[in-house]
């Protein structure tokens, strides 16, 4: 990776300057005040798809509600998903819950203390496993994420595509050979440097503690590195949402166990077919034998990582006089745990993703 003549000095600068800088310059984050593996685990999972500044209030709330692995185990999946609401990528919460149960059943409630055992748990991949093992247990393993790939590619003036798994493997293997004793501070230093100094655009090289060894700084190529394949284009999908209202209560369904927003609650939604096809009406007619004409009550747009939903939202009023009822509400042709009616005051009881909760404001038009 590097010219062997330079390598000793370059590695020393990285091994010595980086942990020292991290100790002095690190942001004062709540999960950095502890070596508790549970807290580090929660913070690392939250940080996977969420900016640090955004996740801090969620982190405080989550740790307050579930202060240890036992409290997480005792909670229902719905409660955990509810506590995750707003962070998105809900499979993370589901995996946390499953992993907590495994830690209690297979490890007597103690977080596994090695990388090898950690990555056996759902939702813990090599990066998260490396972060927990090195920060909480000082195990000499690295934690390579996008930030680290960028920093090391620049540090080594490497034009290898960081989207390529082979590049990640090469960088991981190189880092494994140079990890210092203070491995937690070294790994966190790399992450912090990537977040605060060696940023994707306009890296602050003049403030950088490893600048003297940085080969792209010396070569003047920092703006060209890292090389990254073009991101997969987001697909835009036209969707139709049906808000079914009866006696002031709204109809919700549970989404399938796999795929986007899996297992969460939502309004019925379907991909629009041809213009004016009213695909949502056809879908709802599978559940309700008597359905009035839909009223277009608004539109909304929601951006996920790979897909954008452009939603037309239709309101349906159910008429009790023409419906079979059950406990005051019409019986939907769905298993009872897969659908429910909730009044507006009860909606908070459901894990309702933002894509749908933001549609509630359209009810004024209905
Ligand atoms: S000198 Fe600049 S490009 Fe090199 S590691 Fe530091 S911030 Fe990144």
Task: Find the mean pLDDT for residues 306-312.
Answer: 93
CA-atom Rg of the chain in angstroms: 25
What pLDDT was estimated at residue 325? 40
Mean pLDDT of 162-188: 95
Q: Share the mean pLDDT of the chain.
A: 90
Question: What's residue 330's pLDDT?
Answer: 41
Q: Taking CB atoms and a 6 Å cutoff, what residues make up the pocket around ligand 1? A: 151, 154-155, 197-198, 203, 205, 208, 210-211, 214, 216-217, 222
In angstroms, what is the span from residue 192 Cα to ligand 1's centroid? 12
Cβ proximity of 316 and 287 under 8 Å: no
Please identify which of the residues 44, 139, 192, 240 carries the catalytic annotation: 44
Quick check: 345 pLDDT over 80? yes
Domains of the chain: 4-224 (1.10.340.30), 235-365 (3.90.79.10)
Cis bond before residue 101 (omega within 30° of 0): no
Residues 57-114 pLDDT 10s = 999 999 999 999 999 999 999 999 999 988 988 899 999 999 999 999 999 999 999 9
Tokens encoding 187:
């790994």
**Ligand 1: nearest atom to the Cα of 193:** 7
> What counts of helices (H) and strands (E) characterise the chain?
14, 9
Instruction: Tell me, in angstroms, the distance from the centre of ligand 1 to residue 30's CA.
Output: 27
pLDDT score, position 166:
94
Residue 2 has pLDDT above 80, yes or no: no
Ligand 1 atom nearest the C-alpha of 205 is 2
Per-residue pLDDT at 322: 44
Going from the Cα of 194 to the center of ligand 1, the distance in angstroms, rounded, reads 9
For ligand 1, mutation pick of 191, 222, 225 (most atoms within 8 Å of CB): 222
pLDDT of the residue at 334: 54
Question: How does residue 326 score in pLDDT terms, banded at 50, 70 and 90?
Answer: very low
Confidence of residue 257 (pLDDT cuts 50, 70, 90): confident
Of 159-163, 255-259, 293-297, where does mean pLDDT reach its minimum?
255-259
pLDDT score of 308 = 94
Mean pLDDT calculated for residue range 197-211? 97
Which residue stretches of the chain are H helix?
Answer: 4-25, 37-47, 52-65, 69-74, 77-84, 91-107, 115-118, 126-137, 146-155, 165-178, 183-196, 215-219, 279-285, 354-357
Alpha carbon nearest to ligand 1 atom 8, residue: 198
Tell me what pLDDT residue 335 has.
58
Active-site residue, 44 included: yes
pLDDT class for 201, splitting at 50, 70, 90? very high
Mean pLDDT computed over 105-132: 96
Pocket of ligand 1, candidates 216, 223, 225, 227: which has the most ligand atoms within 8 Å of its Cβ, to mutate? 216
Answer whether residue 207 shows pLDDT above 90: yes
Nearest Cα neighbor of 187 from 147, 134, 146 is: 134
């Amino acid at each position: 990776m590097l010219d062997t003549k330079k390598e000793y000095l370059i590695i020393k600068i990285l091994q010595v300057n980086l942990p020292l800088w991290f100790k002095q310059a690190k942001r004062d984050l709540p999960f950095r005040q502890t070596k508790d593996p549970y807290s580090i685990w929660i913070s690392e999972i939250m940080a996977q798809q969420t900016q640090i500044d955004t996740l801090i209030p969620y982190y405080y709330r989550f740790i307050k509600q579930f202060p240890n692995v036992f409290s997480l185990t005792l909670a229902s999946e719905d409660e955990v998903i509810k506590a995750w609401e707003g962070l998105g990528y809900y499979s993370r919460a589901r995996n946390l819950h499953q992993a907590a149960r495994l830690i209690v059943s297979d490890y007597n409630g103690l977080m596994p203390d090695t990388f090898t055992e950690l990555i056996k748990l759902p939702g813990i991949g090599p990066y998260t496993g490396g972060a927990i093992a090195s920060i909480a247990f000082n195990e000499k393993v690295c934690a390579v994420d996008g930030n680290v790939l960028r920093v090391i590619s620049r540090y080594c003036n490497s034009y290898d595509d960081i989207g390529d798994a082979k590049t990640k493997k090469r960088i991981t293997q190189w880092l494994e050979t140079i990890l210092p004793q203070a491995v937690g501070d070294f790994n966190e230093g790399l992450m912090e440097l990537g977040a605060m100094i060696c940023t994707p655009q306009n890296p602050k090289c003049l403030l950088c503690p490893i600048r003297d060894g940085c080969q792209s700084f010396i070569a003047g190529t920092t703006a060209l590195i890292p090389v990254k394949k073009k991101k997969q284009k987001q697909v835009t999908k036209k969707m139709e949402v049906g808000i079914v209202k009866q006696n002031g209560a709204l109809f919700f369904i549970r989404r399938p166990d796999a795929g986007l927003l899996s297992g969460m609650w939502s309004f019925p939604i379907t991909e629009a077919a041809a213009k004016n096809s009213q695909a949502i009406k056809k879908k709802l007619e599978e559940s309700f034998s008597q359905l009035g004409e839909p009223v277009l009550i608004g539109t909304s747009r929601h951006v996920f990582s790979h897909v954008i939903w452009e939603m037309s939202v239709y309101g349906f009023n159910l008429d009790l006089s023409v419906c079979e009822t059950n406990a005051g509400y019409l019986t939907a042709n769905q298993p009872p745990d897969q659908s429910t009616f909730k009044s507006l005051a009860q909606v908070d009881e459901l894990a309702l993703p933002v894509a749908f909760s933001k549609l509630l404001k359209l009810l004024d038009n209905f």
